[in-house]
Amino acid sequence: MVCMTRLEQFIAHFNDGRLEEALGEVADGYAYTDPLVGEVRGRSAHLALMRRVLAAFPDRKITVTGAWTDADIEFCEYVWTGTPAAGGEGVEGEWAAVLEWRADGLARQRHYRGAVGDVSPVVMRAIG
């Protein structure tokens, strides 16, 4: 049996479209931040955002290209790919993320855009 980190579990669930499982348990005051949507607070708000992304990019996928874990902090670099449901060319972008965990669950996710593949115009049009 292969043990997966919490980050690997999140990504596997997200890629499979299992959003409830992806987010799992979150801590009080949970916040998700990325440069496209800004900050969303709370599990419900983040689930709503992920549902919009899933609807807009049904084949979206995160592929981790590098990662490390130090106690309750997990960092990864990844490539995000997806094809808009409304049609058009697929998008690909490099990202990095830092996830912070506490005893009561996921406390914070911060995502940072890489230099390759500015997906923001396509993604923002697709998720509204």
pLDDT, one tens digit per residue, over 109-124 is: 999 987 655 656 666 6
**Torsional sign, CA 120, 123, 124, 125:** positive
Distance CA 1, CA 15 (A): 20
pLDDT in tens, 70-113: 989 999 999 999 999 999 889 898 999 999 999 888 999 999 98
**For the residues 34-56, what does the mean pLDDT come to?**
93
What amino acid is encoded at 12 in this protein? A
Distance CA 83, CA 70 (A): 34
Q: What is the band of 2 on the pLDDT scale with cuts at 50, 70, 90?
A: low
Is the model's pLDDT at 58 over the cut of 70? yes
- Helix or strand or coil: residue 37? coil
Is the model's pLDDT at 9 over the cut of 60? yes
Mean pLDDT, the chain, rounded, equals 88
Of the chain, the percentage scoring pLDDT greater than 90 comes to 62
Classify residue 27 as exposed, middle or buried by CB count within 10 Å of its CB (0-12, 13-18, 19+). Answer: middle
* Residue 4 φ then ψ, to 5°: -105, 145
Q: What is the pLDDT of residue 117?
A: 56
Structure tokens, 96? 């990095």
Please name the helix (run of DSSP H) or strand (run of DSSP E) that holds residue 84, with its range, or none.
none
Q: What is the band of 24 on the pLDDT scale with cuts at 50, 70, 90?
A: confident
What domains can you pick out in the chain, each with its CATH number?
6-127 (3.10.450.50)
Q: What is the pLDDT of residue 114?
A: 76
Is the model's pLDDT at 1 over the cut of 60? no
